A and B are shown apart, each in its own frame.
Chain A
């Protein structure tokens, strides 16, 4: 019973962080109609920015805050938000002309960008693994007789809060209404007077910022190294296929589903096969429900 409770709790916390990643991918895909293959690398850049802030910059500035890890993760998200917008405007936007052949090249550009960012990180930080200090001490729940990893609890709760804020942005603000409009019909948004170039740039910044904060929050659990984005990319794409491409709600549900399958499989069968459970889950969806949980069978026209 304790084992079940422990794995369910961890699945909830992991699911929240997976959801951030997947929302980042699916948000960019809905707005810009391109898949960002450099998602994992923005996750990696987020984790490095977090590492630098937390272990070098804050101590150098003499900052000793009670929740420095949270401030650092949010700053990492902000930095990558700006980096994402610069990258979108300079490298992707020139090719991102829907309805033209060049549009396909925008996706290829994100593949090239992933190689560039990986190798850039290796050049700067070397092929080493780094760790950040734990966010919290382990939490002992005496009544239930379970122990939870404090860093996971802290990062999972922070991720849940960011997801909530993102939903508030999307469903309670005029900017969110504009994004939802663009996701459904770019022309209708353009005739409303929206500048789609600016909105695409913002969307790319927000999407990559979400991935970056996931990388930052997970830093004490999965370590920080130049290739840590690869697994994150894989996870993110598993989730958006299961949830249905373009569906933010689907991404959140699928993220928790995947975390649950992985957690239960690792606890009750074999821990070393944890990555495999997710793929079996994915293949099951591709066979029985290829459009995903909340996707549509038809492609958008």
Chain B
């Protein structure tokens, strides 16, 4: 895999909230175009912090985030969204009192002045996710956990991002619903979307990944293919538990 294949290239990244304490000290990571890359690690390892920093919600103390060949400078999520990055946070990624369609239109903010295109994208989303089409006029608060997650992903997909950052997409879901969510995510690369996933549901996440990073103690502890991690899952989990 050459550097040219990497849509996202993170080098020497250091991030923290409190002065003097780094949550992430030195992260090197790449997300290859059209692939699923997954980050796993013990609780508190800084996985969500890493995604927040990549999307520009947190400033980097050190290192660089390079996206599609350009170094991302300022912490401006709206700029990164415009460049083709999308982020689905772990919680609170939809507006409960807006209808499904309003949530999708909000997600399509960048298309607000291109009405025919907005309508075409909405139609595409409804075709891809019939569960949302049937409920387009109801408020998001009335959706089930799995449907809400689908809405959260669809809300970001409407602008056809190049890179999708997903934080714990199956958290709090029943195994059956989680399987549906993973099936939806696994289909994204075939639609031209590169996926960077953070997950605690290691078995399912690793199984659908092309590349996996294990992070702990502020750095990357292990990096390999999804297949390698799947074959060595017991050792990986033991390593994570010892590191936690």
Contact = CB atoms under 8 A, between A and B. Distances in A.
Interface of A: 174, 177-178, 180-181, 184-185, 187-195
A180 B94 CA distance: 12
The 9 A-B pairs with the shortest beta carbon distances in the complex, nearest first, are A193-B81, A174-B112, A184-B95, A195-B78, A181-B106, A192-B109, A185-B95, A181-B95, A193-B109
A174 B94 contact: no
B92 interface: yes
A190 B57 CA distance: 9
B87 A191 contact: yes
Nearest to A182: B95
Contacts of A192: 81, 106-109, 155-156
Nearest to B110: A193
Contact of A191 (B82, B88, B96): B88
B183 interface: no
B114 to A, nearest CB: 11
A192 B109 CA distance: 6
A190 B77 contact: yes
B93 A191 contact: yes
A187 B109 contact: no
Contact of B86 (A174, A187, A191, A194): A191
Interface string B52-85: 0001010000000000000000001110011000
B198 interface: no
B105 A174 contact: yes
Given A177-B102, A184-B97, A194-B78, 19 more contacts: A174-B105, A178-B109, A181-B103, A184-B95, A188-B92, A188-B93, A188-B94, A188-B155, A190-B77, A190-B78, A191-B55, A191-B77, A191-B88, A192-B81, A193-B77, A193-B82, A193-B109, A194-B109, A195-B76
A194 B106 CA distance: 9
Contacts of A193: 77-78, 81-82, 109-110, 159
A191 B81 contact: yes
B89 interface: yes
10 contacts: A174-B109, A180-B102, A184-B98, A187-B89, A188-B93, A190-B78, A191-B86, A191-B155, A192-B81, A193-B77
Contacts of A194: 78, 109
Contacts of A189: 95, 106
B92 A185 contact: yes
> Which residue of A177, A181, A188, A192 has the most chain B CB atoms within 10 A of its CB atom?
A192
B132 to A, nearest CB: 16
A146 B57 CA distance: 61
B137 to A, nearest CB: 15
B105 A187 contact: no
B94 A185 contact: yes
Contacts of A181: 95, 98, 102-103, 106
Contacts of B88: 191
Contact of B92 (A177, A180, A187): A187
A192 B155 CA distance: 8
Nearest to B78: A195
> Which residue of B77, B96, B105 has the most chain A CB atoms within 10 A of its CB atom?
B77
A25 to B, nearest CB: 20
Contacts of A178: 106, 109
A188 B92 CA distance: 7
Contacts of B57: 190
A188 B110 contact: no
Given A174-B109, A177-B105, A191 B98 contact: no
Nearest to B89: A187
B96 A184 contact: yes
> Which residue of B92, B98, B105, B109 has the most chain A CB atoms within 10 A of its CB atom?
B109
Contact of B106 (A187, A188, A195): A188
Nearest to B105: A177
Contacts of A191: 55, 77, 81, 86-89, 93, 155-156
Nearest to A195: B78
Contacts of A188: 92-95, 103, 106, 155
Contacts of A187: 89, 92-93
Interface string B106-129: 111110100000000000000000
Nearest to A194: B109
Nearest to A99: B17
Contacts of B109: 174, 178, 192-194
Given A174-B105, A187-B89, A194-B109, A180 B95 contact: yes
B135 to A, nearest CB: 18
A193 B110 CA distance: 7
Contacts of B78: 190, 193-195
Contacts of B92: 185, 187-188
Nearest to A174: B112
Contacts of B94: 185, 188
A191 B110 CA distance: 11
Given A190-B57, A193-B77, A193-B78, A177 B93 contact: no
